[in-house]
Amino acid sequence: MSLPHAILTALLEKPSSGLELTRRFDKSIAYFWSATHQQIYRELGRLEAEGHIRTLPAEQPARGQKKSYEVLPAGRAELARWTAAAQDPKPQRDVLLLRLRAAAVVGTAGLEADLRRHLELHQRQLAEYEEIQQRDFPPGKDAPEDRLRHLVLRAGLDLETFWTQWLTHALEELGELPGRP
């Protein structure tokens, strides 16, 4: 149920066409909530049918012109309701952790290379988040909406820091296992 709320959030930040929305989504919300362009366009249709958004009137009628959307009061109310509602954390599901557990019974062949690959990917993501933080959150940028957006980025920074530290430790542990070259 979160995709419609992600779209309502993005549209409240700035009314957009579907294409503009998917581009903005790819550069921000997609870091923590992914969706394909088709899913976004399908959800725009549902949100419009439910009366949560509307198509903005075109400045000049033209065939094939892109539609721009804005959030209606019902959409804002739905987003406020959803934001205020309690929600339990989702259970952790991670294929890498499952593969490590399986390696305990079938051996570690191929695991070290993949752990190194994961470490590199998380290091790259951490560096990207650090660049975003420097660019978008300089000292003194402390309006309430900026502080909340920075808090979301901080979660990404902390998670990537965790994964880089954990993967470094996992590679050390793997290297110390008996029978390893």
Average pLDDT across the chain, whole number: 90
Locus of tokens 């439910």: 50
Of 49-58, 72-81, 119-128, which range is least confident? 49-58
| Residue of 94, 92, 99, 96 whose CA lies nearest to 118 | 96
- Looking at the predicted structure, is the pLDDT value of residue 62 above 60? no
Q: Tell me which H or E stretch contains 157.
A: helix 144-176
Q: pLDDT tens digits for 107-141?
A: 899 899 999 999 999 999 999 999 999 999 999 98
Q: Which residues are CB-contacts of 79 (< 8 A; sequence separation ≥ 6)?
A: 5, 8, 9, 12, 71
- How far is 6 from 100, CA to CA, in rounded Å? 33
According to DSSP, residue 56 is labeled: P
Average pLDDT over residues 79-92: 92
Average pLDDT over residues 158-176: 96
- Encoded amino acid at 94, one letter: D
Average pLDDT over residues 101-110: 91
Q: pLDDT tens digits for 25-48?
A: 888 887 888 888 899 999 999 999
- Encoded amino acid at 128, one letter: E
- Count of CB atoms situated within 10 Å of the CB of 149: 16
- pTM higher than 0.85: no
Q: What is the pLDDT of residue 25?
A: 82
| Residue of 38, 33, 1, 4 whose CA lies nearest to 19 | 38
Q: What is the pLDDT of residue 60?
A: 62
